[in-house]
Amino acid sequence: MATPVTPVKSGMPEPRAGTGGVFSAGSQKDFNSQLKKVYTFYTGGFLAFVVVLAIAEQMGLPRNWIGYIFLVATVGLYAGIGVMSRTSDAAEYYVAGRRVPALFNGMATGADWMSAASFIGMAGTLYLTGYNGLAFIMGWTGGYCLVALFLAPYLRKFGQFTIPDFLGARYGGNIPRSVGVIAAILCSFTYVVAQIYGVGLITTRLTGVPFELGIFLGLGGILVCSFLGGMRAVTWTQVAQYIILIIAYLIPVVWLAVKATGIPLPQVVYGKVLESVTAREEEFIKDPKEQEVRKMFTDRAAAASAQLKDVDRSFTTGQAALKSALDKAKADQASPESLAAAERAVAAYPKDAAAAKAMWTKDAGSAGRGAPMLRHAEAFPGATEEARDVSRRNFLALVFCLMVGTAALPHILMRYYTTPSVRQARESVFWSLFFIFLLYFTAPALAVLVKYDIYSFLVGSPFAQLPQWVASWQSVDPSLLSIADVNGDGIVQRAEISIGGDIVVLATPEIAGLPYVVSGLVAAGGLAAALSTADGLLLTIANALSHDFYYKMLDPNASTARRVTLSKMLLLVVALAAAWVASQKPADILFLVSAAFSLAAAAFFPALTLGIFWKRANKWGATLGMIAGLGITFYYMATTQPWLRSVFGVTSPIADHIWWGIQPISAGLWGVPLGFAVIIIVSLLTPAPDRETRDLVEHVRYPNITGDTMVTEGT
Amino acid sequence: MQLTQKHQEYWSKNLRITSILLFIWFVVTFVVSYFARDLSFNFFGWPFAFYMGAQGALIIYVVIIWYYARYMNNLDRAYGVQEGEDE
């Protein structure tokens, strides 16, 4: 490994880049035990920090101070690790020197994997959709079985730097590599925009700065982790971030479980709580007051839809009707009360047609609130047998796409290049899923516990005595929580509560009645989740450009130092570009994230697995297979997803393009099988790969084989 | 490089365990979910299908990966294709 030694001003030689500080040691064994010591100490220190803040809060530390302290302390910590791990050595920069022990790589993968969507959004999705939300729980964990069985050990044995590296070496030439680079950037970029958006949102909530400033503050937090030390710095900050995010997720749920059942094991006891929730749901379905509210929403939505058919005419007739009613009341010398009511009605009427249109669109959108109530535990609800069938089909398709997508996202697969051996790569997948599992099997419990709390304490309480957290969240953002007395009986009905998914995690500490310091902790956990994922993604994009595109395709003679410097510059450019896109608040950001899974699944999974398990797969098969898989997935999305339809100007009815009732989010269901089919057919029609390629396949299949002439870079 | 009889055997054992574990993964994920509406008997408070989706399947996934790592790491040693000491 060639490492430039830069003289510093004092005349003292700087320690060799990549060997100084805590994150390096002599033998692998010493390194491992040193890491355990450092992170145990760190976890204890973090818990002590939270306790000290809690005591300070009791002594009167203001709330916004707690927010600032959490933000500065955690981001400062990540920056410290980032600076300590700075490096300009290629193997250190791209794959953390391939010395990350299985356990720690598991934690880093956990943080890399769990994004703002997992941390904040998932429990909310489960709260809102019940059983159907479990598609995300299963999909985002079961995919690791595919990683373990089909990819991780083989990619580790192959031992290069990026995923397009494997495509380039296995299928020969720049064409498969370029397709890989494009696909990697396509899915990582949309994903990273969503993370930066999440970072901005949390920073804003934690400190009260404007959203745009929040984004750029968060961007600083992302860059300090990855800019100086690449994969090496990202790895060790991700381990630190995992510890914070899991503590932040578990504390409020455990508390809520104690509140509901008296037992601090939410994952074990929420079955009983779910029974109570189900019983309450049956009461709500029969309750005449609930039915009344739902009917009011349905009627209001139907009326608004009718008005919307001809906005201008409905606006003028509506206005005229109210005015004539007022005139009539005046002429008839009606009672002062009815006169005042008529005046109020005229005053409350929208000022112009545009305002009326906005109001009616909003009312028409409330049709969902009048729909029959969802039973949390019921699988594939639907009015007819056919609706249930479509719901089941979409559930299974989504699980499939999320699983295969998990096993194809480059920023995750890249992590398995960093372990010291194939053996540890296998163990590392186990640790990865174990650490992810800790959060994922808690999320459904959290959703049920919050539902229980709302159904048993909030519903049925008088409007005059709403709990404190309701008022504070309602004032923060009405789209997250709004409760209005629709039928005017002074009592909260279930159907009168409109709740946004994100609130479920963010407001849990307040619902559980915990001090504000825990709310700060949860926000810091969400920030850790978003930052760690954003770092992994940015690194993937920058490496695809600097390593695969520049070094492998444009200038194979580029020096190590030049490649690493270029990668750092690109990281900065990509980060700024993503932050700029995020600051535009793109409308369909959630769709873009889920789309990344379908796109990655269709582009990478068939080419990677066949490359390992089928020697006959060749260059043309892989190239065309990847293009066909990506192409059909993208085509299906572009013709069936409303936002993409408007971008591409598709005007024919959606129903003409929907196949088998499958939603656009699961478009990978078509892309993955087509990718496999094209690779197999085209490979069989074109000449078999050469001897060298077949040797490479054997090389990756055996952790150690005599007579093997290939060597792994950076070990 | 020349593959011996032993190498072939190692690979076919790998394929066998991979297929078995993949089959379990498939049943737990897709077969159980397909019949979710029929599998709603009470399982410690949860409807069975809900429990599987929220917890049961996840535990089985973790066990599948743990078992595969253990099995393959032993197989490496039994067939002499293990790596040098790394710890």
SS (H, E, C) A267-285: HHHHHHHHHHHHHHHHHHH
Residue A388: list chain B partners with CB under 8 A.
Answer: 37
B6 pLDDT more than 60? yes
Q: Do A148 and B65 touch (CB under 8 A)?
A: yes
Q: Which of B35, B62, B39, B65 is nearest to B51 (CA)?
A: B39
pLDDT at A18: 41
Q: Tell me the residue type at A392.
A: R
Q: Do B22 and A437 touch (CB under 8 A)?
A: no
Q: Do B45 and A272 touch (CB under 8 A)?
A: yes
Buried b (16+ CB within 10 A) or exposed e, A625-635: bbbbbbbbbbe
* 8 Å CB contact between A524 and A70: yes
* 8 Å CB contact between A45 and A32: no
Q: Do B3 and A698 touch (CB under 8 A)?
A: yes
pLDDT at A17: 40
Two structure tokens written together for A461: 């309480």
The alpha-carbon gap from A628 to the nearest alpha carbon of chain B, in Å, equals 26
Q: Do A379 and B73 touch (CB under 8 A)?
A: no
Reported as a single tens digit per residue, the pLDDT across A228-286 is 888 898 999 999 999 999 999 999 999 888 888 888 888 888 888 898 888 888 888 88
Residue stretches of chain A with pLDDT short of 70: 1-26, 367, 476, 586-590, 706-715
Mutation pick from B3, B14, B29, B30 vs chain A, by most beta carbons of A within 10 Å, is B29
Reported as a single tens digit per residue, the pLDDT across A63-77 is 888 888 888 888 888
Bridge partners of A497, per DSSP, are A483
d(CA A79, CA A233): 9
* 8 Å CB contact between A111 and B27: no
Q: CB-based contacts of A40: which residues, under 8 Å, 6+ apart? A: none
Q: Do A704 and B81 touch (CB under 8 A)?
A: yes
Q: How many residues does chain B have?
A: 87
The alpha-carbon gap from A346 to the nearest alpha carbon of chain B, in Å, equals 51
Residue B3: list chain A partners with CB under 8 A.
Answer: 698
pLDDT at A4: 36
pLDDT at A13: 33
d(CA A246, CA A596): 25
Q: In 10 A of CB A365, how many CB atoms?
A: 12
Helix (H) and strand (E) counts for chain B? Answer: 4, 2
| DSSP tag of A665 | G
**Strand A481-483 with A497-499, pairing:** antiparallel
d(CA A148, CA A430): 8
Q: Which residue in B7, B14, B25 is closest to A142 by CB distance?
A: B25
Q: Do B86 and A441 touch (CB under 8 A)?
A: no
pLDDT at A555: 84
Residue A434: list chain B partners with CB under 8 A.
Answer: 62
pLDDT at A208: 75
What sections of A551-657 are H helices per DSSP? Answer: 560-583, 589-613, 619-640, 642-648
Q: Do B58 and A440 touch (CB under 8 A)?
A: yes
Integer angstrom CA distances of residue A690 from A71, A180, A619, A711 = 55, 21, 11, 19
Q: Do B58 and A444 touch (CB under 8 A)?
A: no
d(CA A170, CA A172): 6
Q: Is A328 exposed, middle or buried, given 0-12, 13-18 or 19+ CB atoms closer than 10 A?
A: exposed
The alpha-carbon gap from B23 to the nearest alpha carbon of chain A, in Å, equals 11
Q: CB-based contacts of A572: which residues, under 8 Å, 6+ apart? A: A223, A227
Give the count of Cβ contacts less than 8 A between chain A and B.
Answer: 155
Is residue B78 classed as helix, strand or coil in its secondary structure? helix
* 8 Å CB contact between A154 and A511: no
Residue A445: list chain B partners with CB under 8 A.
Answer: 54
Q: Do B86 and A429 touch (CB under 8 A)?
A: no
d(CA A559, CA A556): 9
Integer angstrom CA distances of residue A49 from A43, A507, A669, A699 = 10, 22, 47, 49
pLDDT at B57: 94
Reported as a single tens digit per residue, the pLDDT across A20-34 is 456 665 678 888 888
pLDDT at A14: 33
Q: In chain B, pLDDT over 90 holds for what percent of residues?
A: 63
Tell which wins on pLDDT, B20 or A472. Answer: B20
* 8 Å CB contact between A125 and A136: yes
Residue B72: list chain A partners with CB under 8 A.
Answer: 153, 426
ipTM of the complex: 0.95
